[in-house]
């Protein structure tokens, strides 16, 4: 089965939301009908423990850390997912960004 759309989920620091919106727009993600830059986000808390050799964006090596961040959700055409992920990575501050691309069976019920 071919999926026309994916939902992309991104976890990112709150201060980087505007840069993320620009990156998503440049990649054509969030285009729905006659609208573009459509996304939703909500505040959450990220928790992690940087291990030896990590380059933590925020935190202390080998200590449990947490920080408020946004979980951003955006719809993207499947053929543009790779372009969108590259654009996200270009503005994302995390060593390994959390980006999930989930195929959508149907949209616009």
pLDDT in tens, 7-47: 999 999 999 999 999 999 999 999 888 998 899 999 999 99
* Among 85, 69, 67, 96, CA closest to 11: 69
- Residue 7's SS3 state is strand
Q: What is the reported pTM? A: 0.87
Q: Could you tell me if residue 53 is left (phi over 0), alpha (psi between -120 and 50 degrees) or otherwise beta? A: left
Kindly state the tokens that stand for 19.
């840069």
Query: Quick one: CA torsion of 43, 44, 47, 53, rounded to 10 degrees?
Result: -40
* Among 77, 94, 98, CA closest to 24: 77
Distance, CA of 46 to CA of 64 (rounded, Å): 11
Q: Give 31 or 57, the one with higher predicted confidence.
A: 31
């Amino acid at each position: 089965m071919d999926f026309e759309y994916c939902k992309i989920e991104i976890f990112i620091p709150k201060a980087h939301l505007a840069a993320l919106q620009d990156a998503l727009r440049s990649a054509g993600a969030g285009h729905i009908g006659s609208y573009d830059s459509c996304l939703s986000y909500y505040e959450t808390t990220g928790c992690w423990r940087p291990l030896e050799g990590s380059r933590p964006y925020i935190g202390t090596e080998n200590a449990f850390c947490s920080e408020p961040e946004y979980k951003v959700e955006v719809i993207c055409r499947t053929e543009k997912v790779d372009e969108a992920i590259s654009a996200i990575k270009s503005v994302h501050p995390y060593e390994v960004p959390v980006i999930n691309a989930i195929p959508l069976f149907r949209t616009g019920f």
